[in-house]
Chain A
């Protein structure tokens, strides 16, 4: 099918975009990369009367760091983040996670902000943002505000954005130099949506002892889930194979899985356990220099 007709605007600045959103409210939809929106429009599932194309707003496309924090504009293309030398060096988890998104044609157009606002709980960017303790900056008619992932992701495909809000920036704190990390996902074919995805970070101070663990899981609940009780199990502990298995089991119990025709709820929960276990092993090996 072909999309329904719509009015089309190309604002050149954030202010212009917000003014349009404020004017048209619920009848308007922002288009950035279009990799999630246009399929829905082609099926006529989405029929926005007004399309606000923000691709001309250059000021929203950037990757920069002041040493302490990574700041990325919402319009930054997924491929640019994946290939950024700065991110590969300092926030490699994010680059690896993005490499799992579809195929290069999707990543060439798809944007960081678009993926976050689409809020698919199986998606790689929301899942890794939660592991990285990232925050999002939103601008609306009444000003700007910064949100934590728990405040931003509400449920399936739903964020706390109001109709007149625009996501403009994502900030991720610097990571300690000594870290182990892993991003893994289960999918039938390379590039498919994840059945489960895990993003893991481990930090250490004393050899053999885990100072802090971060375990974020995608595809296991209406939003990405940080397995906080599993993280507590690992924190301050000497890491052993047995403890990793226990933590993985605990993480699985923190999921809230639903069945669909790709996987039953039980399978997803068990795969969460398996992938957290593998991810923890990978991150731990990395931290200990491959021992």
Chain B
């Protein structure tokens, strides 16, 4: 057992201070230590994207980071998208355009779309398809995912 480290992390606007083993993955820290189970674990090698979170403003695979690397960081998980009961436009769009079925990949889809739409507010369907291919989905065939992100883009432009 190696020395535990004290880390301070802000997640969804809330400050946390915890003791962690260096080998604790960020995704396990979020899910087990902070009980934020919205972020999912699919492959543990960075490919499926269901563990995607925002880390200091950029999406990362939380299964490929250690919690100790998040000391001092500002993280947003899927739980941070809505404001109280008010869903984020991306969430509403996924709801309306059936962008999810089993829901396992959905947190990864939402967080990836969040960064993507912040950088590109008027994407083409092709650009959306390319970006969202970073998260693996076995249910939707991606069509509804693309429709949802295009809908979200429009809603966010019209705000």
- The finding on whether chains A and B are genuine partners in a shared complex, rather than unrelated, reads yes
Residues of A at the B interface (CB closer than 8 Å) are 1-8, 34-35, 38-39, 42-43, 51, 53, 55, 79, 102-106, 108-109, 189-191
Q: Is B59 within 8 A of A105, CB to CB? A: yes
Contact code string B27-71 (vs A, CB < 8 Å = 1, else 0): 010000000000000001110010010010011110111101100
Q: Is B23 within 8 A of A105, CB to CB? A: no
Cα distance A103–B21 when bound, in Å? Answer: 29
Shortest distance from the beta carbon of A23 to any chain B beta carbon, whole Å: 17
Q: Which 5 A-B pairs have the closest CB atoms?
A: A103-B134, A39-B45, A8-B22, A108-B58, A38-B64
A79 with B58: in contact, given A2-B23, A109-B65 (CB under 8 Å)?
yes
B138 at the interface (CB under 8 A from A): no
Q: Is B21 within 8 A of A102, CB to CB? A: no
Chain B residue nearest to A3 in the complex (CB)? B23
Q: Is B28 within 8 A of A106, CB to CB? A: no
Q: Is B133 within 8 A of A34, CB to CB? A: no
Subset of 11 A-B contacts with CB under 8 Å:
A1-B44, A5-B22, A39-B46, A39-B64, A43-B44, A51-B22, A103-B49, A103-B133, A104-B131, A105-B61, A108-B55
Cα distance A284–B118 when bound, in Å? Answer: 36
Q: Is B64 within 8 A of A4, CB to CB? A: no
Cα distance A154–B65 when bound, in Å? Answer: 29
Cα distance A107–B118 when bound, in Å? Answer: 17
Residue in B1, B52, B63, B69 whose beta carbon sits within 8 Å of that of A42 in the complex: B63
Cα distance A152–B55 when bound, in Å? Answer: 33
* B25 partner residues in chain A, CB cutoff 8 A: 2-3, 42
Residues of B at the A interface (CB closer than 8 Å) are 1-3, 5, 21-23, 25, 28, 44-46, 49, 52, 55, 58-61, 63-66, 68-69, 112, 115-116, 130-131, 133-134
Chain A residue nearest to B24 in the complex (CB)? A2
Cα distance A105–B69 when bound, in Å? Answer: 16
Q: Is A105 within 8 A of B134, CB to CB? A: yes
Q: Is B46 within 8 A of A35, CB to CB? A: yes
* A108 partner residues in chain B, CB cutoff 8 A: 55, 58-60
Cα distance A102–B5 when bound, in Å? Answer: 31
Residue in B28, B52, B64 whose beta carbon sits within 8 Å of that of A34 in the complex: B64
New contact pairs (19) apart from A8-B22, A51-B22, A109-B61, CB-CB < 8 Å? A2-B28, A5-B21, A8-B5, A35-B61, A38-B63, A39-B46, A42-B64, A43-B45, A53-B68, A55-B69, A103-B131, A104-B59, A104-B112, A105-B52, A105-B61, A105-B134, A106-B46, A108-B55, A108-B59
Chain A residue nearest to B56 in the complex (CB)? A108
Q: Is B65 within 8 A of A34, CB to CB? A: yes
Cα distance A2–B3 when bound, in Å? Answer: 17
Shortest distance from the beta carbon of B4 to any chain A beta carbon, whole Å: 10
Cα distance A42–B55 when bound, in Å? Answer: 20
A109 with B5: in contact, given A3-B23, A42-B45, A53-B69 (CB under 8 Å)?
no
Shortest distance from the beta carbon of A241 to any chain B beta carbon, whole Å: 29
Cα distance A189–B47 when bound, in Å? Answer: 12
* A103 partner residues in chain B, CB cutoff 8 A: 49, 112, 131, 133-134
Cα distance A218–B122 when bound, in Å? Answer: 34
Q: Is B134 within 8 A of A102, CB to CB? A: yes
Cα distance A35–B2 when bound, in Å? Answer: 23
Residue in A6, A55, A109, A189 whose beta carbon sits within 8 Å of that of B2 in the complex: A6
Cα distance A269–B131 when bound, in Å? Answer: 30
Shortest distance from the beta carbon of A83 to any chain B beta carbon, whole Å: 9
Cα distance A35–B59 when bound, in Å? Answer: 13
